[in-house]
Amino acid sequence: MLRIGAHVSISGGFSKSIDRIEKLGGNCCQIFSHSPRGWKFDVPSKEEGRDFMDRRKGSDVDPIVIHESYLTNLATPKDDLYRKSMDAMEKEVETAKRLGIKYINIHPGTHTGLGEEKGLKKISDSLNKLKETEDIEILLEMTSGSGTTLGYNLDQIREIIENSKVPTAVTLDTCHVFSAGYDLATENGLDEFTNEFDAKIGLNKLKLIHLNDSKFPLGSNKDRHEHIGEGKIGEEGMKRIINHEKLRNLPFILETPEDDKKGHKENIKKVKELRKDN
């Protein structure tokens, strides 16, 4: 069965995210638990948690994923930023537990001069410091490799997972991975990527797909999302991803633009059209 959804707002309360995704025609979603560009946030109250879980019981929306704030950087060499990042991660774990949410999606980190090896080690060391993670799974989102971001290839993702004692798995963001240099737009490239993923990490560790087309070409290292079928991966490429035997049963979450031309509703519709059994 096709699981397709999008990143939606929690404005008005966490439960509103479920209203929103249902209205868009989706059956899974991703949220920010607070403003992704600010540090200040409160863990939701028990009552908010209960309301959200009650609302969820009456819906078919699953999974629901928290995307960690963009500010959080577990690979930073700067002490102040690191302290804030760890505080934010700990609070995010508490938030997820309060809401009964299993997945926290993070960008692994940006080493800003520390070097790739040390940066990767710092990420897994940081994850290992998190407490009470037994009901949680940290999803490491593959990145486009711009600047000094880490997690732009399968070896780096494998290294973080191997050194992590907390439950970790992977999010494949199709725009990021394509711009990092894996040619998901062609049949061969897509097969090579899934085979390499299976050999190095194991496809059982792939839990989520951020389904985005890319404004910029293969290997550009630019993280700019485009409407489904209208970017450099293109309609044929997207169709293959959505129907690929190793990917088709995973949840697809859109992070495509919401502009004058189209929003999530139109892109969700597009994905349903491209899906062969839908």
Binding region for Zn(2+):
67, 107, 141, 173, 176, 210, 223, 225, 255
Nearest distance, CB of residue 67 and Zn ion, angstroms: 6
Q: Which of 72, 62, 65, 130 is nearest to 104 (CA)?
A: 65
Angstrom distances, CA of residue 162 to CA of 74, 127, 141, 172: 17, 12, 15, 18
Decide: 17 and 31 in contact? Cβ < 8 Å. Answer: yes
Segment near Zn ion (CB under 5 A); pick from 29-37, 83-91, 192-200, 254-262 = 254-262
SS3 222: coil
Nearest distance, CB of residue 24 and Zn ion, angstroms: 18
Is the peptide bond preceding residue 257 cis, with omega within 30 degrees of 0?
Answer: no
- Of 76 and 105, which has the nearer Cβ to Zn ion? 105
Nearest distance, CB of residue 54 and Zn ion, angstroms: 28
3-state helix, strand, coil in the chain (%, to 5): 40, 15, 45
- Of 49 and 233, which has the nearer Cβ to Zn ion? 233
> What is the Cα–Cα distance from 18 to 30, expressed in whole angstroms?
10
Residue 27 CA, distance from chain mean position: 16
Nearest distance, CB of residue 142 and Zn ion, angstroms: 9
Angstrom distances, CA of residue 68 to CA of 2, 116, 183, 212, 273: 25, 21, 27, 18, 31
Q: Which of 163, 69, 179, 168 is nearest to 117 (CA)?
A: 163
Segment near Zn ion (CB under 5 A); pick from 77-85, 89-97, 128-136, 138-146 = 138-146
SS3 67: strand
Segment near Zn ion (CB under 5 A); pick from 16-24, 44-52, 141-149, 192-200 = 141-149
- Of 158 and 210, which has the nearer Cβ to Zn ion? 210
Q: Report DSSP state, residue 229.
A: T
How many residues are there in the chain? 278
- Of 95 and 256, which has the nearer Cβ to Zn ion? 256
- Of 9 and 45, which has the nearer Cβ to Zn ion? 9
What backbone torsions phi and psi does residue 226 show, to the nearest 5 degrees? -130, 160
# of chain residues touching Zn ion (CB under 5 A): 4
Segment near Zn ion (CB under 5 A); pick from 36-44, 130-138, 230-238, 253-261 = 253-261
Segment near Zn ion (CB under 5 A); pick from 42-50, 122-130, 252-260, 264-272 = 252-260
Site string for Zn ion, 27-66 (x = CB under 5 A): ----------------------------------------
Count of CB atoms within 10 A of residue 211's CB?
29
173 part of the interface to Zn ion, by CB under 5 A: yes
68 part of the interface to Zn ion, by CB under 5 A: no
Beta bridge partners of 103: 65, 137
Nearest distance, CB of residue 216 and Zn ion, angstroms: 15
- Of 137 and 141, which has the nearer Cβ to Zn ion? 141
> What is the Cα–Cα distance from 166 to 224, expressed in whole angstroms?
31
Burial of 108 (0-12, 13-18, 19+ CB in 10 A): buried
Site string for Zn ion, 198-217 (x = CB under 5 A): ------------x-------
Binding residues: 67, 107, 141, 173, 176, 210, 223, 225, 255
Which residues are at the interface with Zn ion (CB under 5 A)?
A: 141, 173, 210, 255
